[in-house]
Structure 1
Amino acid sequence: MRQQRAVGLSTIGLLISALLAASSAQQTPDSHLQSVLTQMDRTAANFHTTQATFVWTQYTKIVDETDIQKGTVYFRRSGNQVEMAADISEPAPPKYVLFTGSKVQVYQTKIDQVTEYNTGKDRAAFESFLVLGFGGSGQDMLKSFDVTYLGTEGLDGVDTAKLDLVPKSTKVRNTFNHIWLWIDPARGVSLRQQLFAPNGDYRLAAYSDIRLNEKIADGIFRLKTTGKTKFLSPNG
């Protein structure tokens, strides 16, 4: 039950927030922030694929409980769209999350079940939230967030630029009232993300062994289901 809740909160929380996201007028960044955003723009312009090892930590305040998941996440641009696959190897048994087309699929191997969420007409909004710090441009980020430069912070031997993001949409703030990103200024990618919920919950994602624009096998973006796999679609 604890492991299922972690998958649900980390995946579906992002989905809900993204589908509610609204664009607004852009802010005028200061010089330090502008430098980081410019590098993110360059990375986004040349983005094809990203692969990284992750540690996802989900903290639930009401029960003072922490769930940790580890694995590998993959992103690739396919035409004008971005696909994502996450191989959650720990804790066992493995789980898989896949975002292709207009669907987010969560495959739980233990019960041999795939739960599908259709993003429909809100696909672009979900994608922009998904690639935050991983192939998303700085200028696009300013459309949905008020961004503040918090200075530099050492992380895994890198002097990262720490950014605070506050969603411009009130509805999004009801899910995540603010987000911290630790950006590698040389590569324009996120080494760490922390999403804070108003109720005191948070989701911390730490990334390492980040590989940019290396070939990723097509099979990574297909679920390896069985002939008996059950498929559920809660939102049609």
Structure 2
Amino acid sequence: MTKHSIIAAAFLLTTPLFAAPQAKPDHLATVLAQMDAASARFKSAQADLTQDTYERVVKDTTTDKGSLYFERKGTSTEMGLRLDPPTTRFVDFKNGVVRVFDPGPNTITEIRSAQAATYLAIAFGGSGKDLAKTWDITDKGTEQLDGISVEHLDLVSKDPTVRQNFSHIEIWVDPTRAISIKQIIFFPGGNTKTSHYTHIRYNEKVNTAPYAIKTNKETKIDRR
């Protein structure tokens, strides 16, 4: 798995009730402006996570569950993610470094990449300005998801090296809080990874202890 694939899968670990017509460009500008305002107010978010990974070759879907948090620290954002058994995996992002910890083999994959902030912006707390800087955006309209009014956006990376790893990402974002409720990553060959966030706690104090990566002298580190 490539560096970009690992980062995307780590971060972007319910079907809309109805389909909306594609929105007009001026509406997209309004949505991005809402996200800018919400990003300025963003302090933290916590949510439960359901992640479905579909492999087209074997026509099989694997479902993982867990939780995650995002917390603004000054001008940067930190993230922690935990997948529950039987998968059991921890991911964190701090100081520009992504770490993926698999306690089974007791290994950490450590990645330093400028792309990490790009994926953070898709999830929780990102501004519309940052989104438009990195992605070509198609607004598919306003929909209802989990009783929330969301904007369905299709994102294609402006970076050709990123497009080699996945063709596009669809997100269902609540622009009033700059929070994605659902995301689908489309990989080459027809594979997809769908992340759905529920029980969202917005701008509340975060207990980071359950997300702590605990290592020992036997832990192997793979730096990429």
> Under a length normalisation based on structure 1, what TM-score does the superposition of the two structures give?
0.80
Contact map agreement 2:39 2:177 (CA 8 A) in 1: no
Aligned to 2:120: 130
Structure 2 gaps, min length 5: 11-23
Determine the structure 1 residue equivalent to 2:176: 186
Which residue number corresponds to residue 20 of structure 2?
none
Aligned to 2:221: 232
Does 1:152 pair with 2:147?
A: no
Q: Which amino acid aligns with 1:58?
A: T
Q: Deviations over 1:196-224 (max 9, x none)?
A: 12321111110111112111134355313
| 1:18-62: CA deviation from partner (whole Å, max 9, x where unpaired) | xxxxxxxxxxx8221122111211121122211011111111212
Which consecutive unaligned segments of at least 5 residues does structure 1 have?
17-28
> In the superposition, relative to structure 1, how do residues 221 and 13 fare at CA in structure 2: closer, same or farther (>3 Å)?
closer
Q: Is contact 1:40-1:137 (8 Å) kept?
A: yes
Three-state SS of the structure 2 residue aligned to 1:42 is: helix
1:108 is aligned to 2:97: no
Pairs within 5 Å for 1:157-236: 157-220=147-210, 222-225=212-215, 227-235=216-224
TM-score (norm 2): 0.84
Give the length in aligned residue pairs.
212
**Do 1:103 and 1:116's aligned partners in 2 also have CA atoms closer than 8 Å?**
no
Runs of 4 or more consecutive aligned structure 1 residues displaced over 6 Å after TM superposition: 8-11
2:91 to 86, 90, 97: 97
Q: Which moved more, 1:43-52 or 1:214-223?
A: 214-223
Question: Is the contact made by 2:4 and 2:162 (CA closer than 8 Å) also made in structure 1?
Answer: no
Residue type at the aligned position of 1:129: Y
- Structure 2 residue matching 1:191: 3-state secondary structure: strand
